[in-house]
């Protein structure tokens, strides 16, 4: 049987240890094509490049087991270019990550990692975003590999609902200390943002964004609860942003 075609991308850039680990795992499953940013693109959300040109650079050798490209654009640009310009057929799976840092709760909105997965979902490709709750560049991704392979094989073997992608987050734990996988909802949490206001030597004001993550959700069925209690969180994410429950109420208003 033909091996599944797997598109790998991320937002931390082609050289990030997280994507190197993900490529290693996906190579055990199928034929892998990598299209990733040539530099870090964290917190780019679903941004696309429209006011400048995009460049693709093939960096793998002709006989390499994995075909790799760098892209000068955003994570979403990477997926768009892969699907429309590089691949001769639609991928059987798109995986994004492994992100250096959590993409649980509200972070899914800002995440370039998850936006790449969502873009693949829009294209009708089963997709998963993987993140590890460790922001260090030299984070240990080894404990995630067995679980990543298991989740990817499940998605390949069974169909996700149309319009749904998976947001998978790992706690920073040794493999033996991970208690298992929990299907969760997104926790109600937010960033209490502050700006550190400074001045250049020439007197011009500038700002550094800072903030504190505040989890307002006490539920035990959330991604934040799972991560804090030693579980891998899996949240089904949809890119249909319609608040369906509000339609009936709005129809009673006098517009």
DSSP 4-26: PEEEEE-SS-TT-HHHHHHHHHH
- Going from N- to C-terminal start, the domains of the chain cover 5-187+219-250
pLDDT tops 80 at residue 61: no
pLDDT tops 70 at residue 1: no
pLDDT tops 70 at residue 236: yes
pLDDT tops 70 at residue 86: yes
- The pLDDT tens digits of the residues spanning 171-200 come to 999 999 999 999 999 999 988 888 999 999
Would you state the pLDDT for residue 15? 95
Looking at the whole model, is its pTM more than 0.85? yes
The SS3 call for residue 174 is: coil
- For tokens 């799972």, what's the residue? 226
pLDDT above 70 as % of the chain: 100
Q: What is the mean pLDDT of residues 233-248?
A: 96
Interior angle at CA 17, CA 239 and CA 115, nearest 5: 10
Would you state the pLDDT for residue 111? 95
pLDDT tops 90 at residue 34: yes
- The pLDDT tens digits of the residues spanning 114-141 come to 999 999 999 999 999 999 999 999 999 9
Would you state the pLDDT for residue 64? 81
Its CATH class, for the domain covering 5-187+219-250, is: alpha beta
> For residue 160, how far is the Cα from the chain centroid?
17
Residue 18 CB partners (closer than 8 Å, separation 6+): 10, 12, 97, 98, 99, 100, 132, 139, 141
Residue 82 DSSP symbol: I
């Amino acid at each position: 049987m033909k091996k599944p075609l797997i598109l790998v991308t991320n937002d931390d850039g082609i050289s990030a240890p997280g994507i190197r680990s993900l490529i290693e795992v996906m190579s055990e499953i199928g034929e892998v094509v990598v299209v990733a940013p040539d530099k870090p693109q964290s917190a780019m959300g679903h941004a696309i490049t429209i006011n400048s040109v995009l460049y693709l650079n093939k960096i793998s050798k002709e006989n390499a087991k994995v075909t790799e490209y760098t892209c000068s654009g955003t994570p979403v640009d990477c997926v768009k270019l892969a699907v429309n310009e590089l691949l001769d057929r639609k991928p059987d799976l798109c995986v994004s990550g492994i992100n250096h840092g959590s993409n649980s709760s509200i972070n899914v909105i800002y995440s370039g990692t998850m936006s790449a997965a969502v873009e693949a979902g829009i294209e009708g490709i089963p997709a998963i975003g993987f993140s590890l709750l460790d922001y260090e560049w030299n984070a240990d991704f080894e404990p995630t590999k067995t679980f990543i392979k298991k989740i990817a094989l499940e998605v390949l073997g069974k169909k996700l609902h149309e319009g749904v992608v998976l947001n998978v987050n790992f706690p920073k734990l040794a493999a033996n200390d991970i208690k298992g996988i929990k299907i969760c909802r997104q926790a109600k949490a937010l960033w209490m943002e502050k700006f550190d206001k400074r001045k250049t030597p020439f007197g011009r004001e500038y700002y550094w964004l800072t903030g504190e993550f505040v989890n307002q959700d006490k539920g035990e069925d959330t991604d934040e609860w799972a991560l804090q209690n030693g579980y891998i969180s899996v949240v089904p994410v949809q890119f249909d942003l319609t608040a369906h429950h509000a339609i009936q109420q709005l129809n009673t208003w006098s517009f």
